[in-house]
Amino acid sequence: MSDTSGRGPQGQHGGPPGPYGGPQGPYGGPQGPYGGPPPGWGRNGGWAPPPPPPKPGVIPLAPLGVDHILGGTFATMRRYAKPLFGTAAAAYGLLAAVMIAAGVLAYVSVREHFQALYETDATFSWDHGRPLLIAFGAVWLVGMLATLAVNSFIQASCAATLHEAVLGRPATFAAVWRRAWSRTPSVMAVTVLLALILLLPVAACVLFFVSFIVVVLTQSSASFGLLFLLFLVVTPLAAWLYVLFAFAPAVAALETAGPLQALRRSVRLVRGAWWRTFGISLLAGVIVGVVSLAVRLPLQFATPAPPPVDPDTSTSTVLLAQLRSQFGLYALVGLVGTFVTQLAASVFLPLVTAVLYVDQRIRKEGLAHTLTDASSVPPPAPYEPPAP
């Protein structure tokens, strides 16, 4: 496990880390708060205010307010739309291809068992059900792993894009893809560890809702009070843990840290700023929810009415007519709207978290000076293989 949390211009193990390569304190000397000349008396005897913070990219290199965090996120999405949404769309396209291929392979492998479900002269038994459960359970498992990889890749690509956006440098699709792909395993490991940490509170919440349904159906309230108290305890615990480790994916992507080191770094950065991190993250989630609702509501009102049902019509004919009424142009528009909303949300939320991470490092570790120096250095030229 690599440790890149340096104690100065270089990490613990030497080497030239980037501007996000670990905590660094503010530089000494008679500089102002953002690396410029200090404030003092002006030429005319008046007090000269401190210079504005440098802004080489999408955010000023100074402690950020909510307006700067959201504004920097939207500016990154606008200026770096191609690498951001291009990598996310390509990742989702790859996920769709994997799921379609897995579904087709599963259907081909158990086709004769699947036909026993709807053929009139076939008898469905456990001998048919067991292969179906195994095949489509494998499809579900492949889908979960592929979704985890895709979401981790998108988080890494957002952090890689923000790395260049803060410095005001261009970012190409290929460069973001390479950097995000190299950090995806670490971000995946962080996500799995975070899921394991949150497993107990989430399981307790699921148990509460299941028990609530059982209580309503059986009209028995013997253990409902205890389950409700458990719910009141584990819900804040889950929220506290989630926010405490919120910066771990950004740390894993930007500091090239291992999973456990990323979790520890996130705890150190969030400490003392939990409520601020929670509030801004909640605001970002509300923005995503409002935009998603604004897209889905018109589609709900535009849903075509199902055809009338004739009592003499067979069940299969009725179901086929219902399916036909829900497909066509409406289904295409709904699919496109859902995909665009999901694409924007998958980019927006990790970007907000990554900007919050940069803000905390500016506040706690004097990262603004390092970023100011890094923004004045031209990016390295892309590697070109020698001509044969």
Residue 5: count other Cβ atoms within 10 Å of its Cβ.
20
What is the per-residue pLDDT for 380?
60
Residues whose CB is less than 8 angstroms from the CB of residue 259 and which lie 6 or more positions away in sequence, other chains included: 1, 186, 189, 190, 193, 248, 252
Distance, in Å, from the CA atom of 242 to the CA atom of 331, rounded to the nearest integer, reads 35
Distance, in Å, from the CA atom of 111 to the CA atom of 102, rounded to the nearest integer, reads 14
The end-to-end CA distance of the chain, in Å, is 38
What is the per-residue pLDDT for 305?
61
What is the per-residue pLDDT for 233?
75
What is the per-residue pLDDT for 129?
74
What is the per-residue pLDDT for 206?
72
What is the per-residue pLDDT for 116?
65
Residue found under tokens 């985890």 = 148
What is the per-residue pLDDT for 28?
36
What is the per-residue pLDDT for 68?
94
> Angle CA(32)–CA(36)–CA(42) in degrees, nearest 5?
75
What is the per-residue pLDDT for 316?
54
What is the per-residue pLDDT for 326?
58
What is the per-residue pLDDT for 355?
96
Asked if 341 and 90 count as a contact pair (C-beta separation under 8 A), the reply is no
What is the per-residue pLDDT for 379?
62
Q: Tokens at residue 382, please?
A: 């892309």
The identity of residue 94, as a single letter, is L
What is the per-residue pLDDT for 25?
41
Asked if 269 and 291 count as a contact pair (C-beta separation under 8 A), the reply is no
Q: What does the pLDDT profile of the chain (388 residues) look like in tens digits? A: 334 433 333 334 344 456 776 654 433 334 444 445 555 555 555 566 777 888 898 999 999 999 999 999 999 999 999 999 999 999 999 999 999 999 899 888 887 766 666 665 656 666 767 888 888 889 999 999 999 999 999 999 999 999 999 999 999 999 999 999 999 999 999 999 988 888 877 777 677 777 777 666 666 555 666 667 777 777 788 889 999 999 999 999 999 888 999 999 999 999 999 999 999 999 999 999 999 888 888 877 766 665 565 665 555 565 666 656 556 666 677 778 888 888 999 999 999 999 999 999 999 998 988 888 887 776 665 544 455 5
Residue found under tokens 């978290």 = 353
The identity of residue 156, as a single letter, is A
What is the per-residue pLDDT for 345?
92
What is the per-residue pLDDT for 307?
57
